Copies of this chain bind each other. A is one copy, B any other.
Amino acid sequence: MSRPIPADAAPSPPRLLRIQEVAAETGLTPRSIRYYEEVGLLAPAARSEGAYRLYDTEDLERLRFIRGLRDDAGFSLAEIRQLLEDEQARARIRVRFRATHDQAERREILVEAIARVDRQVETLRTKIDRLEAMILDARARRDHLAGHLEEVEAGREPTPHEHGRPRR
């Protein structure tokens, strides 16, 4: 549109992908991608003349991010939306940042942006901590069993000791 590319030697051809290509690229289904749009997780960068959805590389990253949160972290789409709103705010912030040259405002914008990222990290960290706790629990059971194993291997008789359940 407003990009005077010399019709040659363009630094990076910003190819836009259609939904099926995006699906193949991200491992999602077209249906899911449309659904994510429906519930406000992302909008395609553009539409073709005939209203085809067209996605850019930023959209791809976003979709991969979504998939990671969904599959790897097991977040609900509602939780994902929260995290993505932080992402979006980050983008808006960048624009505001570039728009101003006021030192104080720039500082404030950055501080805000950092706070948002910190919130994302905290959300993830919370989940990790809970998982870690569960692992500790399991490890306690493991150690208990390992203790018995040592006894057995030493040829000793078992120690029933009221099968001390590890603390919850």
- Asked if B152 and A139 make an inter-chain contact with CB atoms under 8 angstroms apart, the answer reads no
What DSSP secondary structure best describes chain A's contact surface? helix
In the complex, the count of this chain's copies comes to 2
Q: In the complex, which residues 30-77 of chain A have their Cβ closer than 8 Å to any Cβ of chain B? A: 61, 64, 68-69, 72-76
In the complex, the chain B residue whose C-beta lies closest to that of A87 is B141
Closest Cβ–Cβ distance, residue A91 to chain B (whole Å): 11
Residues in chain B near residue A69, CB distance under 8 A: 134
Q: A94 contacts which chain B residues (CB < 8 A)?
A: 163
Closest to A132 in B: B128
Whether A127 pairs with B131 at a CB distance below 8 angstroms is yes
Asked if A131 and B134 make an inter-chain contact with CB atoms under 8 angstroms apart, the answer reads no
Answer whether residue A89 sits at the interface, using C-beta atoms and an 8 A cutoff. no
Bound CA span A97–B144, Å? 14
Query: Does A92 have its Cβ within 8 Å of any Cβ on chain B?
Result: no
A165 at the interface (CB under 8 A from B): yes
Contacts of A106 in B (CB 8 A): 152, 158
Partner-B contacts on A (CB < 8 A) = 61, 64, 68-69, 72-76, 90, 94, 97, 103, 106-107, 110-111, 113-114, 117-118, 120-121, 124-125, 127-128, 130-135, 138-139, 141-142, 145-146, 148-149, 152-153, 155, 158, 163, 165, 168
